[in-house]
């Protein structure tokens, strides 16, 4: 792609496109059509997702209404109780949660939520934003099914400034009223293929959805554009392995697209030699990284390739929080590439994730390195990456996918 084409796609597709929405479908169709224009066979693969529309969410603390957004998929409820702030979640802190509404720092993770539920909490409050920012944005969060396991407590999200003031003023009593409509909707993956000489594949993944506040230019339209660059650059190259691009829907809702794809194609996964995932490239500032969910030898290979081509890269072995993970969990080795910028330079999941964070030139440069790596893998007589997941990575997968508590 040219610089002008990258800039044009950034502007055209940088809109809020949450998983399961009509806007996500518009983006999916645009990506499918672009792949078809490059000569690839391309189609959409729908999959079911939980959907919810919050009809009303009201938080009152000590008689004063506080602006908030209700958690989607957290059911409906009306709860009034003492408010307690829990900066720690050790057993002594959790003992204070019984019969209370609990204000938390950070994300509502699986084990934290289950601990709160078992401890007898009646509901929860979280916050997003920054006390130093001028905006008063509140992200629309959701209580994911693998977090709640069907045990739903009413929850709301507020702005960091209001959370700060509630704790500062030692607020006493809170009242949450949450009403919502819930149903099963549809998200979709976009799949495109360029076959090779054998019926085995290098899979290229990137998610194309965004969070409710974000236009998602950096996270992760940039990765989608990178995969389009790889597809275009290698479409006429003689390949041993075919190239299969999977643009994943609903990644921001818990890797739902890649989980759906690996479940639907479980019998075909033995034909996948390697997964190459792009999640956030092309930022004006930031270092280029790689996370290998596979053998340690691939970490060294990437370091050598960087040295050979004059490309700065920081590779490591582990689990990356993106669509590479469900593939690795099913035994397919994977590597995720990103240009990782500090939040002060490239903020994600907020209104500040816009095309202005990115450099079209850097997207093309990042994509060129990924293209060279993919070319070597796809054109190899035999893909050199062992099709095995080391025990160290499997332990991290167990922790990331909530099968095992992370060791402190």
Does 273 lie in the same domain as 378? yes
Does 215 lie in the same domain as 82? no
Does 165 lie in the same domain as 302? no
Residues 320/207, Cβ–Cβ less than 8 Å: no
Q: For residue 357, what is the domain's CATH number?
A: 3.40.630.10
DSSP string, 270-321: GGEEEEEEE-S--BSS-EEEEEEES-HHHHHHHHHHHHHHT---EEEES--S
What contacts 158, CB < 8 A, 6 or more positions away? 59, 66, 67, 68, 69, 125, 126, 127, 138
Containing structural domain, residue 249: 3-50+186-400
Burial, 266: exposed, middle or buried (Cβ in 10 Å; 0-12, 13-18, 19+)?
Answer: exposed
Does 301 lie in the same domain as 279? yes
Does 295 lie in the same domain as 165? no
> Global pTM?
0.96
Alpha carbon of residue 82 to chain centroid:
34
Within a domain: residue 112? yes
pLDDT at 245: 98
Q: Residue ranges of the chain with pLDDT lower than 50? A: none
**Which residue from 227, 229, 228, 209 is spatially nearest to 219, judged by alpha carbons?**
209
pLDDT at 407: 75
Domain boundary among 122, 137, 171: 171
Does 363 lie in the same domain as 257? yes
| 143-148-151 Cα angle (round to 5) | 115
pLDDT in tens, 31-81: 999 999 999 999 999 999 999 999 999 999 999 999 999 999 999 999 999
pLDDT at 406: 86
Does 384 lie in the same domain as 346? yes
pLDDT at 330: 98
Domain boundary among 171, 197, 230: 171
Residues written for the chain:
408
Domain boundary among 119, 148, 171: 171
- At which residue do the structure tokens 């672009």 appear? 34
Does 220 lie in the same domain as 120? no
Does 192 lie in the same domain as 144? no
pLDDT at 408: 64
Residues 379/237, Cβ–Cβ less than 8 Å: yes
Does 320 lie in the same domain as 192? yes
Within a domain: residue 176? no
Does 220 lie in the same domain as 133? no
What contacts 408, CB < 8 A, 6 or more positions away? none
pLDDT at 99: 98
pLDDT at 93: 97
pLDDT in tens, 226-268: 999 999 999 999 999 999 999 999 999 999 999 999 999 999 9
Looking at the structure of the chain, the number of domains it has is 2
Does 253 lie in the same domain as 279? yes
| 234-238-242 Cα angle (round to 5) | 70
């Amino acid at each position: 792609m040219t610089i002008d084409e990258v800039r044009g796609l950034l502007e055209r597709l940088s809109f809020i496109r949450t998983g399961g929405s009509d806007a996500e479908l518009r983006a999916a169709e645009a990506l499918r059509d672009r792949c078809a224009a490059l000569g690839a066979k391309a189609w959409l693969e729908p999959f079911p997702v939980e959907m919810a529309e919050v009809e009303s969410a009201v938080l009152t603390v000590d008689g004063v209404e506080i602006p908030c957004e209700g958690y989607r998929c957290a059911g409906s409820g009306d709860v009034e109780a003492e408010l307690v702030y829990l900066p720690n979640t050790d057993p002594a802190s959790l003992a204070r949660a019984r019969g209370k509404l609990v204000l938390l720092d950070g994300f509502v993770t699986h084990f934290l939520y289950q601990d709160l539920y078992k401890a007898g909490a009646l509901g929860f409050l979280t916050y997003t934003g920054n006390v130093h920012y001028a905006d008063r944005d509140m992200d629309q969060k959701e209580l994911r099914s693998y977090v709640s396991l069907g045990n739903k407590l009413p929850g709301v999200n507020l702005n960091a400034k209001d959370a700060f003031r509630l704790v500062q003023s030692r607020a006493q009593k809170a009242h949450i009223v949450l009403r919502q409509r819930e149903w099963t909707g549809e998200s979709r993956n976009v799949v495109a293929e360029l076959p090779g000489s054998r019926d085995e594949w290098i899979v290229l993944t990137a998610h194309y959805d965004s969070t409710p506040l974000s236009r998602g230019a950096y996270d992760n339209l940039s990765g989608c554009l990178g995969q389009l660059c790889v597809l275009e650059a290698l479409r006429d190259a003689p390949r041993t392995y075919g190239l299969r691009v999977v643009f994943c829907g609903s990644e921001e809702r818990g890797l739902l697209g890649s989980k759906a794809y690996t479940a639907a194609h479980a019998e075909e996964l033995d034909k996948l030699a390697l997964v190459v995932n792009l999640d956030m490239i092309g930022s004006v500032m930031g270092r280029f990284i790689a996370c290998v969910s596979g053998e340690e030898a691939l970490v060294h290979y990437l370091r050598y390739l960087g040295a050979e081509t004059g490309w700065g890269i920081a590779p490591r072995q582990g689990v990356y929080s993106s669509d590479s993970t469900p593939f690795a969990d099913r035994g397919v080795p994977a590597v995720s590439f990103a240009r990782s910028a500090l939040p002060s330079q490239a903020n994600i999941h907020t209104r500040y994730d816009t095309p202005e964070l990115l450099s079209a030139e850097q997207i093309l440069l990042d994509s060129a390195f990924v293209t060279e790596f993919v070319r070597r893998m796809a054109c190899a007589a035999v893909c050199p990456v062992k099709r095995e997941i080391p025990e160290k990575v499997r332990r991290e997968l167990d922790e990331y996918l909530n099968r095992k508590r992370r060791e402190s």
